[in-house]
Amino acid sequence: MRGGAVGLAAGTALLAAVSSGCAGSSGTDGEGRPASTATAATNGAAARTAASGGTIGAAGSACELPVSFDIAKQWKVKGIDAEAELSKTSNDSGGGLSGDLADAFLRQGPVTTACEIDAKPAGNIGFLRVWTGRPGGPGARSALREFVAAEDGVSEEKYHSFRTSGGVAGVEVEYLYTSKLLDETKKETALAVGTPDGPVVLHLGGMDTEEHEEMRPAYELAKQTLRVR
């Protein structure tokens, strides 16, 4: 399973060609575990954030989500109806391959992609993607572990709890991803929070580790302004 820096638009072109704890609690990570304030200071409030270019997540915004957060200036937002895309490809008379490819692009572990935020207009190659689960699904920690486990080529995972300045608690992971095709290793980061509507995962990839680090302030902006709706 791979949902890294490859754009969903490219995946769509390829197809045509061939949990549920609420993380609003300020003291837990979405599954009742205490959030580490020391870790939050190191990986959250103290981290450099990008300038805000607006907020998404609310009804009527470019992506309607169980959470809301700020996006960096010039990043381009695209909402994705994963269930509709999967239903469309499953009914494709061209065979099962398109459905398998759609599933690979749109699902990862217990969540499906709901929003894609493209860094290219801001000068970087990569995406911040939002993945959502179903009500009654796994809590934040379990959802994040299942999300990472579904991605081939992962190593050196480091999990920790965090709490934003606004009091939202969750779980974050930093890890290395090795592409078998390109024989290259790069850094990736993701977080998960629980909401009444199911788990939400934010994932930051990038073409390589350098791109990832250059985009990290946009990820930190999203993380620190995250609110459960």
Domain spans in the chain, listed from the N-terminal domain onward: 19-81+109-228
Give the pLDDT score at 37: 35
pLDDT at 30 over 60: no
Q: Are 207 and 179 in contact (CB under 8 A)?
A: no
Q: Contact, 78 vs 62, CB < 8 A?
A: yes
Give me the residues paired with residue 124 across strands. none
**Is residue 37 classed as helix, strand or coil in its secondary structure?**
helix
Does position 33 have pLDDT exceeding 60, yes or no?
Answer: no
pLDDT tier for residue 217 given thresholds of 50, 70 and 90 = very high
Predicted TM-score (pTM) of this structure:
0.77
What Cα–Cα distance (Å) separates residue 16 from each residue in 9, 19, 22, 85, 95?
A: 11, 33, 38, 12, 12
Tokens for 197, please give them. 């509507």
Residues 57-115 have pLDDT tens digits of: 999 898 999 999 999 999 999 999 887 777 776 666 554 446 666 677 789 999 999 99
Four-way CATH pick for 19-81+109-228: 3.40.1000.10, 1.20.1540.10, 3.40.50.2000, 3.30.70.100 = 3.40.1000.10
128-168 confidence digits (pLDDT tens): 999 999 998 889 999 999 999 998 899 999 999 999 988 99
For the ranges 87-91, 197-201, 219-223, the lowest mean pLDDT is seen at: 87-91
User: What is the structure's pLDDT at 39?
Assistant: 40
What percentage of the chain carries pLDDT values higher than 90?
60
- What are 189's two structure tokens? 């980061």
CA pair distance 225, 151, nearest whole angstrom? 27
Provide the mean pLDDT of the chain: 80
| pLDDT of 38 above 80 | no
Q: Is the pLDDT score of 119 beyond 70?
A: yes
pLDDT at 6 over 70: no
